[in-house]
């Protein structure tokens, strides 16, 4: 078994040949996608929606290919999951090898090395120089749920605080933790209690310094909850669904300092911002933040379902044996994929690639901002960059959200072979979350499409 952890001697899977270029050969969606969509509509719940009814057959690097042969530049990476690139050969090889060795035993019955190796890698790469431990689970929401469980157990306290514009998942507890009710919570109550929403730092809108915004957040926590009842504060260092909101300098360290002084567990939800996306393994590092617990998911296993809670050993060990776990949590195939992801980040120098992508994207979007006055703000770090669109003439005054422009650009771009995601509480943010395999040439090509889409508004 040990040699399966060394990807250097793994059989390199033959990746499907997908040229790294945009190519549209039918209407979008094409006839085969339309036929599949008709089948899907009959049997898949309407509660599961798809942004673009284009059915994907193959993918590699930064390109996805649909069933009609159209090739799209993927600037969403499955919402930041295929961060190291689609069907990356070392991940595919690790999955194939592990699938042939063992698919499942259940770590809580008979354990295996791959789970331990992922926990070692997480301990090594999450911020902070202290003993750390992990629990592996299946999804981001499950990691959030476990982070809260662990913090409550450790502190013996009840309340959970989150920040405005945050997103944490679709389970019962996490629905209560999201800022946005529609579509995530509408009609699904009653919700978990003891969840409190504090104001965040949103420099484009609040104009506050980090210290001012932190004072506002802390005043809320102290007045509305009281520090002695607060188990944890759950924060996305860069808010994902909220629209890549980067907090003002000093905001997060001030919150952490207050949490530490008051025995509150500081939990960084790095599910979208983590795993090399921002040029650091975890975005917390950009802010000098050393969370007590870090939540990972999305990019952690190159496309396989895996998530983790990692943090201070004394907090992680407060739970009684049997209190944490689950049937599929830390599945061996997902863990083998994750080990390959960590190795790929190192061997391909992907932290530097994230910096390159951030510089290229930011420069391109700032250029567009000079041409189009509806681009109110360009922000983000590394391969996590967004632009917030506002109504004409309001970019420096009232900053009225312009969701219609965002939807129109995303739709036009898709027709031209560029997949971009929307975000933001008001749906007025276009977010770029490409894989770290995307070249500057592909970004430049995608930006000409975005430019045309802006011009066509």
Smaller CB distance to ligand PLP: residue 66 or 236?
A: 236
Smaller CB distance to ligand PLP: residue 274 or 417?
A: 274
What are the distances in angstroms from CA 85 to CA 60, 291, 430? 7, 28, 21
Under DSSP, is residue 181 helix (H, G, I), strand (E, B) or coil? coil
Report, in Å, the least distance between residue 283 CB and ligand PLP. Answer: 11
Number of residues in the chain: 457
Report, in Å, the least distance between residue 24 CB and ligand PLP. Answer: 29
Under DSSP, is residue 183 helix (H, G, I), strand (E, B) or coil? coil
187 exposure class (CB count in 10 Å sphere: 0-12, 13-18, 19+): exposed
- Cα 344 to Cα 5: distance, rounded to the nearest angstrom: 13
**CB-based contact 158:142 (threshold 8 Å):** no
Report, in Å, the least distance between residue 182 CB and ligand PLP. Answer: 17
- Cα 154 to Cα 313: distance, rounded to the nearest angstrom: 11
State the DSSP string of 211-248.
HHHHHHHHHHIIIII-GGGEEEEEE-SSBTTTT-BPPP
Report, in Å, the least distance between residue 45 CB and ligand PLP. Answer: 16
Question: 82: Cβ–Cβ under 8 A, 6 or more apart, which residues?
Answer: 59, 74, 88, 299, 302, 303, 435
Report, in Å, the least distance between residue 171 CB and ligand PLP. Answer: 7
Report, in Å, the least distance between residue 360 CB and ligand PLP. Answer: 23
Smaller CB distance to ligand PLP: residue 382 or 417?
A: 382
Residue 180 tokens read as 């946005």
Residue nearest to ligand PLP (CB): 140
- DSSP 8-state secondary structure symbol assigned to residue 23: B
Residue 227 tokens read as 């520090």
Under DSSP, is residue 382 helix (H, G, I), strand (E, B) or coil? coil
Smaller CB distance to ligand PLP: residue 301 or 453?
A: 301
Task: Characterise 263 by phi-psi region: left (phi > 0), alpha (psi -120 to 50), beta (else).
Answer: left
Q: Which residues bind ligand PLP (CB under 6 A)?
A: 139-141, 144, 167-169, 236, 240, 269, 271-272, 297-298
Smaller CB distance to ligand PLP: residue 7 or 296?
A: 296
Give CA 321 to chain center in angstroms: 30
Smaller CB distance to ligand PLP: residue 305 or 376?
A: 305
**CB-based contact 424:409 (threshold 8 Å):** no
Report, in Å, the least distance between residue 210 CB and ligand PLP. Answer: 21
Report, in Å, the least distance between residue 441 CB and ligand PLP. Answer: 28
Smaller CB distance to ligand PLP: residue 7 or 139?
A: 139
Smaller CB distance to ligand PLP: residue 121 or 423?
A: 423
Report, in Å, the least distance between residue 79 CB and ligand PLP. Answer: 6
**CB-based contact 73:63 (threshold 8 Å):** yes
Report, in Å, the least distance between residue 366 CB and ligand PLP. Answer: 25
Smaller CB distance to ligand PLP: residue 169 or 291?
A: 169
Buried b (16+ CB within 10 A) or exposed e, 13-50: bebeebebebebeeebbbebbbebeeeeeeeeeeeeee
Smaller CB distance to ligand PLP: residue 164 or 451?
A: 164
440-455 helix and 350-371 helix, angle to the nearest 10 degrees = 20
């Amino acid at each position: 078994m040990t040699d399966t952890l060394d990807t250097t001697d793994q059989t390199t899977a033959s990746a499907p040949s997908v040229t790294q270029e945009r190519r549209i050969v039918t209407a979008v969606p094409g006839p085969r996608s339309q036929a599949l969509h008709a089948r899907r509509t009959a049997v898949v719940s309407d509660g599961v929606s798809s942004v673009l009814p284009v059915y994907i057959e193959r993918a590699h690097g930064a390109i996805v290919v649909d069933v009609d042969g159209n090739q799209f530049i993927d600037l969403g990476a499955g919402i930041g999951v295929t961060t190291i690139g689609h069907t990356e050969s070392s991940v595919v090889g690790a999955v194939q090898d592990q699938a042939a060795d063992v698919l499942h035993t259940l770590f809580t019955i008979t354990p295996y090395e791959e789970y331990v190796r992922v926990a070692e890698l997480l301990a090594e790469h999450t911020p902070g120089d202290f003993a750390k431990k992990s629990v592996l689970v299946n999804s981001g929401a499950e990691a959030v749920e476990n982070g809260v469980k662990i913090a409550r157990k450790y502190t013996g306290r009840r309340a959970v605080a989150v920040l405005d514009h945050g997103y944490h998942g679709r389970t019962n507890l996490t629905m209560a933790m999201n800022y946005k009710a529609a579509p995530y919570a509408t009609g699904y109550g009653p919700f978990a209690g003891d969840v409190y929403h504090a104001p965040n730092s949103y420099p484009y809108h609040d104009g506050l310094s980090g210290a001012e915004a932190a004072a506002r957040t802390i005043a809320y926590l102290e007045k509305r909850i009281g520090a002695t009842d607060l188990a944890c504060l759950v924060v996305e260092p860069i808010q994902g669904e909220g629209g890549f909101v980067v907090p003002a300098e000093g905001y997060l360290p001030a919150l952490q300092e207050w949490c530490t002084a008051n025995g509150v567990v500081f939990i960084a939800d790095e599910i979208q911002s983590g795993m090399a996306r921002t040029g650091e393994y975890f975005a917390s590092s950009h802010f000098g933040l050393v969370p007590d617990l870090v939540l990972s998911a999305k990019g952690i296993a190159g496309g396989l379902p895996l998530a983790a809670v990692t943090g201070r050993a004394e907090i992680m060990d407060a739970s009684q044996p049997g209190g944490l776990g689950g049937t599929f949590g830390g599945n061996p195939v997902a863990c083998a994929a994750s080990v390959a992801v960590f190795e790929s980040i190192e061997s391909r120098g992907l932290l530097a690639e994230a910096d390159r992508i951030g510089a290229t994207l930011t420069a391109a979007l700032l250029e567009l901002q000079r041409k189009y006055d509806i681009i109110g703000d360009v922000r983000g770090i590394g391969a996590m960059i967004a632009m917030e669109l506002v109504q004409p003439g309001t970019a420096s005054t009232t900053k009225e959200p312009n969701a219609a422009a965002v939807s129109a650009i995303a739709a036009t771009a898709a027709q031209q072979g560029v997949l971009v995601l929307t975000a933001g509480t008001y749906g007025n943010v276009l977010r770029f979350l490409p894989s770290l395999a995307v070249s500057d040439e592909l970004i430049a090509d995608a930006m000409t499409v975005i430019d045309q889409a802006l011009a066509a508004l």
